[in-house]
Amino acid sequence: MTTQEEQMIKQGDDAEQILGSSTFNVTINELVDEAFKVFVNTEPHETEKREETYRHYRALVDVVNHFKHKVAVRDSIKEQGDTSQEEDE
């Protein structure tokens, strides 16, 4: 296993810990709820405010998906390592 792969596994482990954190999840959910409330309570002419709120929401989704991707990469590296060890046996 390369140093880069070891770093990616560490990042995946860290990301999984963050995703499993109740504090992180409560915070993300509160921010999503707040963005939704702002979005639905805008007046028809407040398009810029809705667009800004949508970008805020998308940023939250992107952060969560980024962490999920790091976990998936880690799992893929581990799976490849397991497969190569089985082939060597």
Q: Which residue intervals of the chain are DSSP H helices?
A: 3-19, 22-40, 47-88
The one-digit pLDDT tens for each residue of the chain (89 residues) are: 789 999 999 999 999 999 999 999 999 999 999 999 999 999 999 999 999 999 999 999 999 999 999 999 999 999 988 776 666 55
Indicate the burial class of 39 (C-beta count within 10 angstroms; 0-12, 13-18, 19 or more).
Answer: middle
| Cβ-proximal residues to 69 (8 Å cutoff; 6+ apart), any chain | none
Dihedral sign for Cα 24, 26, 30, 36, please. Answer: positive
Write down the pLDDT at residue 1: 74
| Cβ-proximal residues to 25 (8 Å cutoff; 6+ apart), any chain | 19
